[in-house]
Amino acid sequence: MSSLLLQLAVLGVALAAAALILISFVAFITATKMPHLHQHEDEKFFLNARGQKEALPSIWDSPTKRLSVVVPSYNEEKRLPVMMDEALGYLEERQKQDPTFTYEVIVVDDGSKDQTSKVAFKYCQKYGSDKVRVITLVKNRGKGGAIRMGIFSSRGEKILMADADGATKFPDVEKLEKGLNDLQPWPEQMAIACGSRAHLEKESIAQRSYFRTLLMYGFHFLVWFLCVKGIRDTQCGFKLFTREAASRTFSSLHIERWAFDVELLYIAQFFKIPIAEIAVNWTEIEGSKLVPFWSWLQMGKDLLFIRLRYLTGAWRLEQTKKM
């Protein structure tokens, strides 16, 4: 009996090793190169408040604003106004109190099929195109791809990515700014502050089904085991970057959809960019684009492939130069 058990154990290990080799091979041969930042001709411009085309700036230009806010938006005509009203109300009040504070809000319409661009453009007309700009992508790239397009067209010394649903209270940007400042001195002027909902985990578990709780813990384990250590909440869409950290990490990003946050932080830790995790106020907003089971399954596959593709050399990280 013991001999049979030993043989079964050896067979199990051999099958597991073969499966890992097969998955690694699939991950390697299906790895795409870093998505080329191809811009359709219409994506190189934004419309000013008078409806005239103006060329977009570049992340490689010197900053001219204190803060850029990048808002990825896909079919957000209903939820976007609430977020924009809160954000611009806060930013305008802050500018009144401190005239040296300058900002811009960049709404990136990620190939929406509704009136997202038109809704966003009304804010451009109200506040002026120096403060609000709308980039309309010709086709859907995914949240990570949309944010990257916005970041690469930003003018801020610091760059905030914020979700269009307004789930995070916008004044919490001050908490991220403090967290960023506490990381100084910044190596090569690079640092990141991540908004976090980890402190709300117990409360959210009470409201979730056992199945969704199991998926959440499984995802957290995979993130920790495969990719990112020391960050409890990688998925909060409220993150603040120094300009240098944004250009370095997004220049190296391969994934443009759900798991892009994890690869982004994996890249940051590879380059030894200091990261602060800051608790923020967060409220779940109806209208999520995530389909619980399939989205978690997709993200789980992405996490495994992120790790395998870097381990096998399909993807490489190098000290990126000006693009």
Cβ density class 202-213: b for 16+ within 10 Å, e for less: eeeeeeeeeeee
- Amino acid 45: pLDDT: 93
What CA–CA distance (Å, rounded) separates 245 from 268?
Answer: 8
Domain ranges (residues) in the chain: 35-201+232-291
Chain Cα centroid distance, residue 221: 20
Q: Which residue has the tokens 């120094």?
A: 242
- Amino acid 18: pLDDT: 54
What CA–CA distance (Å, rounded) separates 193 from 240?
Answer: 5
Q: What is the pLDDT of residues 246-284, one digit of tens each?
A: 999 999 999 888 789 999 999 999 999 999 999 998 877
- Amino acid 91: pLDDT: 98
Tokens representing 218 are 């499984």
pTM value is 0.85
Q: Is 255 helix (H, G, I), strand (E, B) or coil?
A: coil
- Amino acid 228: pLDDT: 93
Residue 86: CB atoms within 10 Å: 15
- Amino acid 93: pLDDT: 97
AA identity, residue 11? L
- Amino acid 1: pLDDT: 58
Helices 292-311, 2-29: inter-axial angle, 10-degree rounding: 90
Whether domain 35-201+232-291 has CATH 3.20.20.70: the reply is: no
Q: Which residues pair with 53 in a beta bridge?
A: 47
- Amino acid 205: pLDDT: 45
Beta strands in the chain (DSSP E): 45-47, 53-55, 65-73, 103-109, 132-136, 156-161, 192-196, 239-242, 275-279
Within the chain, which residues score under 50 in pLDDT? 16, 22, 25, 27, 205-207, 321-323
Q: Are 227 and 310 in contact (CB under 8 A)?
A: no
- Amino acid 288: pLDDT: 57
